Structure 1
Amino acid sequence: MRTNKTLDESLSIEVAKQVNSRAQTSFKNAYNAALVTDGAAYVQGFLALLRKSYVLLEHGWLELDDRIIDPTLPHLHCTAPDLYYFPAQQLTVKQLKAAVEEAKEDYPEDEPLPIYGDAPYEYYGEVMLGGKDYLNAYQAAEAKCKELNQRIADQN
């Protein structure tokens, strides 16, 4: 299900600068931002964004009260109306730190992010995800992309 929170573009850009965010590293950007943003929760899920058509990405961001803070926003080259966020998992900073430390201990050769939680896992395509929440978020984001792309096709 799509989040009903609003993207705070100015705070997203400010936080992106503060953590020196990089393109194509949304989970790491969100992790670093969570460490410096009081009261924020780290969120993993999916993002539908406009390119030539809408595409679907696995993505990480923060939520703070009723706002989304996306430290990867400057690298997406989109504005708020062209972005749709679909959360699958939310972690407090304490939970996030613990999960990253555990991942580093258990799988030192792998990146600790994203965090998928405990098995059993669901699947989309050939990629393993977290539990049912991931599958539900993926399916909602996929449906939104199809709807938006159909609107684009109908306008042409």
Structure 2
Amino acid sequence: MSKLLDATLSVEIAKRIESNEVNSFDNAYHAALATPGSLYVQGFLVFSGKPYKPIEHSWIELDNSIVDPTLPYLHKKPEELYYFPAQKLTVKQLQAALEEAKEDYPEDEPLPVYGSMPYEYYGDVMLGGKEYQEAYEQAEAKCSELNKPKIK
């Protein structure tokens, strides 16, 4: 994870797209549509404290920075957040994947997008390809590091 979170731009875009605290995938989708040159990214978010495990999350990347339109609802300082990307899509790729998902699974929400099979396990969930498993393992290691019991 070499890219840094741009908190100012994250808050600005969150306001512009009227993001919500419930769905980071929708927030990132709308942010990608509203931000030329951005990439839609799915992966995992880690911070210390509850839930003590990686959270499946989505954001956008712009140049050399992470822009998270869900940031205002996370109630964490930017330096406390760690992002582990599993999949990056251009807006064109994202729109094509959503159209395909709507056709193949009309009763399901089209986001998140998990790429092509075969799917791997990460945690106790089977979604995403090998890149998801790798990102999850990295996120899990960071989560363990951040949430080590304090020895008295």
Shorter-chain TM-score bucket reads: over 0.9
| 1:144 matched residue in structure 2 | 142
Q: Which runs of 4+ in 1 moved over 4 A?
A: none
In the other structure, the counterpart of 2:123 is: 125
Give structure 2 stretches of 5+ with no counterpart.
Answer: none
- TM-score normalised to structure 1 length: 0.92
Q: Structure 2 CA distance, aligned partners of 1:155 and 1:129?
A: 36
The one-letter amino acid paired with 2:58 is G
Give the root-mean-square deviation of aligned CA atoms. Answer: 1.4
Report the Cα offset of residue 53 of structure 1: 7.1
For 2:90, the equivalent position in structure 1 comes to: 92
How far apart, in 1, do the equivalents of 2:67 and 2:126 lie? 26
Residue 52 of structure 1, CA deviation: 5.1
Cα gap change, 1:118 to 1:11, in 2 (>3 Å): same
Name the amino acid aligned to 1:96: L
Please state how far the C-alpha of 1:55 moved relative to its aligned partner: 3.6
Query: Could you list the per-position Cα deviations for residues 80-129 of structure 1 after superposition, in whole angstroms to 9, with x for gaps in the alignment?
Result: 11100000000000000110111111111100000001110001233121
* 1:80–1:29 CA distance, 2 compared to 1 (3 A): same
Identity among equivalent positions (%) equals 62
Residue of 18, 30, 37 corresponding to 1:20: 18
Aligned pair count reads 152
Specify the alignment match of 2:81 in structure 1: 83
Q: Is the 8 A contact 2:121 2:133 kept in 1?
A: yes
Q: Deviations over 1:41-74 (max 9, x none)?
A: 0000000023357442000000011100000000
1:110 aligns with 2:117: no
In 2, Cα distance between the equivalents of 1:125 and 1:154? 25
